[in-house]
Every structure is written in structure tokens, then in C-alpha cells.
Chain A
Amino acid sequence: MTRYGMAIDKKRCVACNTCCVACKIENNLPQDMWWNRVINEGGPNPDSPAGTYPSLTMTTYTLSCQHCANPACVPVCPTGATTKDPETGIVMIDPHICIGCKACIDACPYGVRTLQADEPVYYTAFNIGGDGIQDHVPNTVEKCTFCAHRVVNGEVPFCVEVCPARARVFGDLDDPNSDISKLIASRDYEQLLPEAGTEPSIYLLV
């Protein structure tokens, strides 16, 4: 079996937002839709540290769907739009089945699901992004797909490919010889909200 996961190195992430913008381009995300966001760990504002000048600390990582092994969103979906692919472990939403009830938004402890309430507004008069990307449908919920349309062709998610810091590693968590498995075995890491019991597939290297 394959269970895809991602490691994000907090020692390398510098909040550049390249992955967030690349995600928008690759997935043709409409205006105001973001599947991936930078989280600042420090003060309340972006790029603001904790502490008092000059004794300061600041770290950063990005937050998107955790593609949990035990996702909270799947069982609450009344239509079966949200599913977990048993072949890859990727959690998907079928926009043609989703009814926009937002039960998954309430259930997800990570706040990574967003309702596309209205008709999508795009930045360009033509479609951009990769082949086989997800449609954007009014009154449906959207989130990161781990670039399933790329992964199926043996490519890594676009955010991994473009990261200028080389902070992101994608691969099969079930394969002990994958780069990501070896990385997780050799580095200290955190996972978000382990107490939620969701078993996230994102590892934050610290």
C-alpha cells in the first residue's frame, strides 16, 4: 500500500509564500481561494517574532490539508463527496457530489477547508494550471489535493517542486526506504494536533 505524506522543514521554510502562489497557479484557484497558507510562529502579525527586541524567536511553516490517516472530515460528509483514496491515502472532495453543507469544515481541526460560495472569479480570461486538476464549482468545499493529478503521473506536488528553500519532501510513508521515511526517521519532527487522533500525514521537521 501507499500512503503519501509530506515533510516540511521548519529550519528551511522562510515564509516566502512561493508554494502558496504556485498552488494557486497549478490548480487554477479562483480569487480569494487559498489551499495552502504560511503560518507565523512568533508574534501575531506576519514575520513578527516572539520576545522583546533583540531577544527574539520566530519560525514558520505552511498549513494545508493534512491528508490524515484517520480523517475527521470523511465520516461527517453526508453525500460521500469527501473520500480517502485507499490506494494513495490522499483525501479528496468530488465537487460534483459536494453540496456545500460545511459539515467537513466544522469537523476538520486544521481549518484548511474553504467554501467556494459563489461563482468562481478567475485572474485570467483563460484556464491555467495542470492537466486533470479539480473543477471549481459554486457552493462546494475545496482544499489541497496533494496535486493528485500530478502524483498519479509520478510527479511530486507542485509546491514541492517550486520550493526555493528545498524545504518540502513528498513521498510514501509506508515505504521505509523513501526519502520522506528516511528523513522522518533521522530528524525531530512535530505533527499538528496529534491529540485530535487524526494521524496527519504532514510532518513538520524541527
Chain B
Amino acid sequence: MNTKTLFLWGNNLTDAQLQDWHFVADAIENGTYVVCIDPIFTQMAAKSHKFVAIRPGADMPLVMAMMYVIVEEDLVDWDFMREHSCAPFLVKDSDGLFLRMSDLGVEPAVGDNGAAVDPYVVWDADANAYGELGAVANPAMEGSFEVEGISVTTAYSLLKDEIMKFPPEYASTLCDVPVETINELAHLAVDGPVTHRVGWGPQAYDNGIHPHLAGAALGVLTGQLCKPGANYGPAPWLMFLGGNMAMQASSAPVTSPTISNMYMADVMASNEFNGTPVTPKALWVYSGNPMCTWVDTNTLRDEVFNKFELVVTVDNMMTDTARWSDYVLPLAHWFEYEDAVIYGNTYHVLYSGQAAEPLGESKCDLDIMRMLASKMGLREDLYPASNEEYLRSYFSSPTCEAMGITYDNLVEQRVIRCFPENYRLWENGAFLTASGRAEFYTENPVADGYVGAVPDLDREHLPHWFEPREAWPEGELAEKYPFVLMSERPRFRVHGQWAYNRILREIDPEPTVKMNPADAIARGLEDGIHVECFNEHGHAVAKLVYNEAIRPGTLVYPKSWQSDQHIAGSWSEPLSRQCDPVAVNQSFMDCRVDVRAWEGAE
């Protein structure tokens, strides 16, 4: 409401986060200028003051070029950079870590909380000598120095080196945003308060970490963080952590590894995960529909699901995953049992009461686990209390007491606020980093979830550009498969949920794929025919819909139709399970296909 300019980065807010749209509409009425950066002209784009059409997978160069303009024109918020960021910290050439007093032989002191206090070292620009952070009034923001024989460079200089690789003229060739627009956006970004809200678009490519490293750096460089109306981040997805944690923690240590979906086929084939033997025999699927919503359906079915001896799915509808399971356990709908919601796009704890008796034999997850534990001979007191007793115990903690959150209060009030009014992330510059400052330089990147050799992490200290794996206009793959296949999270479903709702299916009866009319006409594809989108991984058949909102060279499909609703194939078939070894992300939009009229049986 109080932001001057709102940047929406790949955020189809009016469909995927409709619950927040009325706040944006209020802000617009209050004078906020909205910039929508998206390859697709969404309803949100139509409501924005400025639509910036961008090439898929290329948000990062646009952000970098905006920072280039800001640095070139000296529009940097130097006070914020000095007081609240890692800009003056000295990065050691030798290991990429920040220089601390212990590197210079000063023993760390013991702080009030018992933790070691090892001050960061900065370069005193006035004295031309090193000094402790906090003791130096005017630390150098730029430069390389020798500190007692240790070669160091300020974190800001390292960031600037990366920024200077992206003059707008060059960045424009990557992101396909005109130079004058880049200049305009840079000036909007420094005229605060500015809020940058990111959707799940820019991360849906193999290079998807880096637009966010760049975006967060932009927030720091412009000082547009942790102030009223200024922020960089996604929709506020919050969790109430004040409950009785003993109620959700397992007392037994976890003994099995966590393995990403993208590597599961290899693990099932080799019975090995990073050198450790693993022989998974049974798969228990709950709260998800991977056969529909995860990448590379065909490999997941043939090389993963079919290799398990036993597959059990717990769900309240017959999903693609349930169809490939040996047992389907009917889950009660959330209207049919009592629970509380502590996590979501909300500042509140919500009570979810039972409105109807569970249908047939269906049960809630907790009852299913209780019965399973009993049959498996696990401790009988695994989940001993009733569901109500569980909730009563969960909302019994000092924090709950202080906030007036009890089971009885929740039942009575239905909704209790658990975050402060006007809650802001990192209020007053209290960043949750080791230094307590905004660290645009990641001192010690750690890889997680990779398979094989430890990935090279040098790239991860700072925003770094590399092309998306498939969704790039050059190369052999682009010739063979000319269209980038993008998905949208549409308004008529939440992932696979509501797939068989008959009212919704009257509005939206079958899978569709949207295409720019110029592309379609060039290929002789008429509006409304069935087309097949395909590559070597698989295919999906859907009704073609002409739509000028679609960027030429791309196809856009509303995601998560169940496979029996397609004439043939399904949308997750063409998506590769390859992933960047650091991101270990399902790159849902890093995909290329070709498209042709469907001539198979209907």
C-alpha cells in the first residue's frame, strides 16, 4: 500500500496468488506504479502500468544491467551499503572468505551468549590501514588491499566486477528488453520506497538461483529493504513456529538419505546414492501427486515407480499417482476432520473445523499413520492422544500462552494473528545472517542434494550469468525444437486439485496450449484444433488456443491436468529431469518442444 513502485518479476499474481491481488489493487488506487516483468501478458500485466516483455530464463541480465546504470550514474545508497551490507567486508583472494580479526592473530572474544566474537576486518579509507568493523567510521567500499600479507578485495568491488559485465546494450541482447527500458527501470528502482516481488517464474530454469542473487543485490544496492514499502522477496510465506515443538519432532533419528526426484531413477538403477548402498523397496506418497506435477513422467513411472516393490498413495482424489499405486488409501477431505493451519500466505494461525463426517472409509493422515504404526508393531504410543488432544498439546507453549493462542481460543475465534501488525522482514536492518547485515556476497556456499562430484561452487558467491539449459534461442536443440514450453499455474485448479470438479470443467473443459497467432498461422495450425507438443522425453496433446499474450517462440500451457483428461500424453512428459548440480531444481520451464497437428485417435 505504501510502496511507490512495485516490481513484479515473473509473478502471475492474479492467477497463482489471487488472494493477494486486492492488496495490489488497493496499492494502485493509492498511487503505486506497477511494473510487470514477464514473458507472458497475464491479467496482472494488463493491470500493470508497465509491461516489460522479457525472454524466458533471462531475468538475471536485466537486473544486472539495472545495477550497471545505478553504479554508472552513482545512484547507489551508500549509507545503506555501509551500515547494513557486507559491501565493505574484505574477501580473501585465497579462500573467498571474509577477513576476520582471527586471521590477523586476534583471539576471538566470548560474547554474552557464549558464542565467539570474531570481528570482520575493513579497510579504513581515511587512515589507509585496516581496522575492525565498527571501529572504522569510513570503511573503503572499493579496492584491493594487502592486510598483513593477505590479499583482499572488498565485497562490493567483487559485486561491481560482475555488474560491469552487463552494460545495458549487451544485457539487452540477452533479455530482449530495450536499452531505454532498462534505463527507465533502473531509475524507478532507486526512487523509493520500492518493493520487488518475485514469482516462481524466474527460478523455473537451470540458472534459476541467479536472478534472485542479482535481485537481492539490487535491493541492497538501492537500500530498498526492511523499510516501510521497501522489500525484495516472494509472496510472504510464513510459518508459526511458536507451537510445542516436541509435538512435531521425531525422537528417533532419521536413518535414510533424502534423495531428489531428479536423481531417483539413477539410484533405483544403481542401488547406490553418493557411494552409499540404498535399496528402496516401498514408496509412500502423501500430500502430493508426483506422476502429474513432477518433471519427466515417463522416467518417473518406468524407472522409479515400477522399480518399487510396493507403492502406496494417500489422497482424497484419484490422481495420476494413485493410478500407478498398489494401494490407494482414501484420505478424508480437510472439511471432514479437525486441524489447524500454521503455514501459508498469511500472518495468522487458522482453525480448520470438521464440517462433515469423513466419506466412506476415508481417514485423516494422522489416523492413517496411527493405524499403520500399530500394524507395523511400532510403539503403541506413537501418536497416543486423540486429534483434539494433539492440537491442545501443540498449542501449549510459552509463546502460545503469551499470544493467547490455545486450542479453545482457536476453536472460538477461528483465526488468531501470530505475527505483529505491519510485520516487516528484517525490520531495522536486523538481517538473519552471520554478520547481521545484508550479505549479497555468499561467503561459504554449500551444495546440497547433488549426486556425484561436489559441484564447483565458485560461481555461487555472487550473481553469475549462464544460459538456461534448453530455453535459449541458439543451438542445435533450438533448431530441432523451436518452442520454449512454459507453464502457468492457472486459476481453475491448485496443482492437481479440483481436476474433476464438474462446475470448473464446464468453464475449462480440457487441456489447452496457448500460442501466438503469428507462430500458429506460420505453421498452418488453426485455432481450436488439437495439437501435439513433443520432444524426445514425451508428448502432450491439447487444444490449441490463439492468444496474442504469448511471446512468439513460446507455448504456454495451464499445468496439472490429469493424464486421463488428455487425449494423449501429459504436460510433465516433455520436461527433462536434468538439473543444475547446485540448484537441484525441477526446471519446469527450461524445456523445448516442437508442435504439430494431432492426427491420432481422439
Q: Using a CB–CB distance below 8 Å, which chain A residues touch chain B? A: 11-12, 14-17, 20-21, 24-25, 31-32, 34, 42-45, 47-54, 56-60, 123, 164-167
Contact = CB atoms under 8 A, between A and B. Distances in A.
6 contacts: A11-B28, A16-B15, A47-B43, A52-B548, A59-B46, A166-B22
Given A53-B53, A56-B41, A123 B547 contact: no
A165 B21 contact: yes
Contacts of B491: 15-17
A53 B520 CA distance: 14
Interface in B482-506: 491-492, 502-504, 506
A52 B51 CA distance: 13
Interface string B7-39: 000000011001101100100110000000000
B162 interface: no
Q: How large is the interface on B (under 10, 10 to 19, 20 to 34, 35 or more residues)?
A: 35 or more
Contact of A56 (B25, B503, B548): B548
A83 B527 CA distance: 42
A37 B552 CA distance: 30
A59 to B, nearest CB: 7
Contact of B546 (A25, A45, A51): A45
Contact of A164 (B18, B29, B41, B552): B18
A45 B19 CA distance: 25
B506 A165 contact: no
B550 interface: yes
Contacts of B551: 53-54
7 shortest interchain CB distances as A-B pairs: A54-B53, A58-B46, A14-B14, A48-B547, A14-B43, A166-B22, A56-B41
Interface in B535-571: 545-552
B424 interface: no
B46 A11 contact: no
B25 A165 contact: yes
Contacts of B502: 31, 123
Interface of B: 14-15, 18-19, 21-22, 25, 28-29, 41-47, 51, 53, 491-492, 502-504, 506-507, 516, 527, 545-552
A20 B503 CA distance: 10
A31 B25 contact: no
A43 B22 contact: no
Given A17-B491, A20-B507, A50-B548, A60 B22 contact: no
Nearest to B507: A17
A42 B546 CA distance: 12
A46 B18 CA distance: 17
A164 to B, nearest CB: 5
B47 A53 contact: no
A56 B53 CA distance: 11
A49 B19 contact: no
A17 B47 CA distance: 17
Given A14-B47, A56-B548, A56-B549, 9 more contacts: A12-B21, A14-B15, A14-B43, A17-B491, A21-B504, A34-B506, A54-B53, A54-B551, A56-B46
Nearest to B490: A47
Contact of A58 (B15, B41, B503, B516): B41
A72 B506 CA distance: 29
B41 to A, nearest CB: 5
A24 B549 CA distance: 30
Contact of A43 (B15, B44, B492, B548): B548
B506 A12 contact: no
B506 A31 contact: yes
B506 A32 contact: yes
B503 A53 contact: no
Nearest to B546: A45
Contacts of B507: 17, 20-21
Among B14, B45, B46, B491, find the residue whose CB has the most chain A CB atoms closer than 10 A.
Answer: B46
